[in-house]
Amino acid sequence: MSDNAAQFDEFASLHENMAQWPLRKYIEVPSVLEAIGDVDGLSILDFGCGTGAISRMLKQRGARCVVGYDPAPGMLNYARRRAEKEASDLSFIAHLSASMTAQFDVVLASYVLPYAANKTELDSMCGEMAGLLRPGGRLVSLSTHPSYNPHSNHYEACGFRLVVDDPENPYLEGRRIRIEFCKNGEQGGVFAWHWPAPSLERALGQAGFRSLKWRELGAPAYSHIEQLPKELRAYLQSPHAIIIEGVLARGHAEQNP
Amino acid sequence: MTFLPFRTELSGVPHALCGLNEHDWDALVSDNNFYNSYRWLRALENSFGTTDVLAVHGPAGLVAACTLWEGSQSAGMFFLPDCMGGIPGPWQQTFLWLGGRRNTHNEIPCVQGRRRREALTALGRSALYYAQERRYAGFVMPYMPYQAAVEFAGVIGGAVVLHSAEASLEVPDTGLPGMIAHSSAHNRNQSKSEISAFQRTGGKIEWLPAEELDDSIAADLITQNRSRYGNADDRDWMQRILAGQRKAGVSHFGAVAISKRNNEITGMAVFYRFGTALHLRYFGADYNLDLNDYRYFVLCYYEPLDYAAARGLKTLRLSTSALRAKVNRGAKIEPQAIVVKCIGEQHISRSEIERHNRCTLRHYQDQFPGHLSRDWEFVEAHRDPPD
């Protein structure tokens, strides 16, 4: 397991509790689900599933098959145990196998690409995601916004801080960001890395993704943004995350078996 | 890559199990450690009363925990002098016991990864504090897998004493035929002949979810078996245990293999499925029926292999008793140790422990050659620091 995955081992309960944080509940998750669209009958791989909160939602919404993948044992154990108790017909895996190649209609990667520590890891992640999809299958990725607000306290009202290693040049490729969780006191933090839009488009394109679309987050359940709590309205003025969608080119699997 | 340390201190204080989140707890529990899972421990509380819990929280949530009890005051598997194999020490005094009540497999539910050692250390520290406050002579955690025992003893400055062994069987993808194929000719013939005898006498097996089990029938059969081997607890006691499990939701994990002959129940084995492991817990039989049909072996060792293989399970956990019978039917034997930490001036002779552990190792090597798990190699290689 990489250090990047290992840093999540003790965050299972925090990760699960975050599903109830207003930012995740009213903005991130609804935006991701809206981007994925109707899941009825689809086969979905939740890449970097954490404790499986979104995997469970996708299954409840009618996905035929949902597989959660996460290399952090602490996260995966939470997801597995809970699925076992809730008999939710989900499977959670720590390793991707060759038998999973080209088996999925959708790959969801919620906050996965920002944890690539260098270009090689970024390329490798994108390649793995592409390898899982059927030709024409879709990637829905929630990633760091290319123009997130680099002032460390900007997102504090939403429960976290982004502390960049190099505040003078926060948007440079591969700059390290420490994400500090502070919703209920200081709750620890993890490292992520900034990948500007051209870097992500290059890596995704190289992996075989086409028709890349950048989709800003919203609050789909609210018809008027004024109805949102103040901190979420402020967040949407300068969000830290964005959705990237891509379609796996037909013929890609044949070229890259 | 290096990471910044977290700023929040770990702290251990006694809790009640009901005050902790079930999912947070179980995320720390390995597949082999079912008897320290949340619902099992709650079931024990339902049957025997509540117990204190040591819990260590990091900044983001629970990182280590275990329940507490006081062991048994009469001879047997949970009587400290009987666990210590003649090593001199204050074993007649009262020690605090870590782990589930009367568990024969204990690992500390603990986070994996880079802060595991820190979490275990904090748990050990809080156990020591708890024991000192209440004037225990020290604390022990029995029936630990050897490597887990060495890890825990290492962080608390405790001693590791081999005191038991448990059997487990890797489930071949092909189930029973796979196990038989890998057995010696003698054991293969024995297994085939036992299965044939069971079938010849009209025996059939049915599987049932534990939630559908009639507890009164189960309690009756299990009690018959327990009394046959000297246990004095009656049918009501067993029924209380099963009721406690049902209330805690343990039955959700249960699967019961039932043997029948002419539609009459002749025996049953109760298993719990946890992750990729299937844990054998109870065997019960109607001994009023004079049958020599090997239903114990069929229910406990043969049928569950097919059941487990069909569900992608990897290990059949067979506990600590009747090791010879289990080995002859494909099981491997794993070493178990009790971790001991005395308080104050109490001194345990490391050389005595070393001698005891060597003897225990030789005993199992002599008794079960070719059937020992790889953990015994760690026993062979491990040397406690000298006195």
Q: Report CB contact under 8 Å: A74, B111.
A: yes
Query: From the centroid of its chain, how far is CA B177?
Result: 27
Is it the case that residue A255 has pLDDT exceeding 70? no
B318 touches B167 (CB < 8 A): yes
CB contact under 8 A, B6 and A74: no
> Residue B30 phi/psi, 5° resolution?
-80, 165
Contact A109, A127 (CB under 8 A): no
Instruction: Write the pLDDT tens digit of every residue in B127-165.
Output: 999 999 999 999 999 999 999 999 999 999 999 999 999
Mean pLDDT estimate for chain A: 93
Helix, strand, coil percentages, rounded to 5, for chain B: 40, 25, 35
Question: Best residue in A1, A3, A13 to probe B by mutation, most B CBs within 10 Å?
Answer: A13
Q: What is the pLDDT of residue A245?
A: 98
> What is the model's pLDDT at position B43?
97
Contact of B24 with chain A, judged by CB distance below 8 Å, is answered with yes
Using CB atoms and an 8 Å cut-off, which of residues 38-67 of chain B contact chain A? 58-63
| B253 touching A (Cβ < 8 Å) | yes
Structure-model confidence comparison of residues A255 and B184, the more confident one: B184
pLDDT at A45: 98
Q: Is the separation of the CB atoms in B297 and B325 below 8 Å?
A: yes
- Whether B61 and A78 lie within 8 Å, measured CB to CB: no
Which residues in chain B show pLDDT less than 70?
1-14, 383-387
Q: A8: nearest CA in chain B?
A: B113
Check if B20 contacts A (Cβ < 8 Å): no
Show which of residues 198-257 on chain A sit within 8 Å of chain B, judged by CB atoms: none
pLDDT reported for residue B291: 86
- Pair of tokens at residue A116: 């690539």
A40-66 confidence digits (pLDDT tens): 999 999 999 999 999 999 999 999 999
Which pLDDT does position B9 carry in this prediction?
A: 41
| pLDDT tens-digit map of A66-112 | 999 999 999 999 999 999 999 888 999 999 999 999 999 999 999 99
pLDDT at residue A10 is higher than 90 = no
Closest listed residue to residue B153, CA positions, set B124, B175, B179: B124
Q: ipTM for the complex?
A: 0.87
Task: Please give the pLDDT value at position A97.
Answer: 95
**Record: contact B24-A181, CB cut-off 8 A:** no
Contacts of B61 in chain A (CB under 8 A): 10-14, 17
Q: For chains A and B, what is the number of CB pairs under 8 angstroms?
A: 91
| pLDDT at residue A187, rounded to an integer | 83
* Residue-level pLDDT at B384: 62
A16, A186, A191 member nearest B8 (Cβ)? A186
CB A186 to CB B59 under 8 A?
Answer: yes
Confidence (pLDDT) at B271: 98
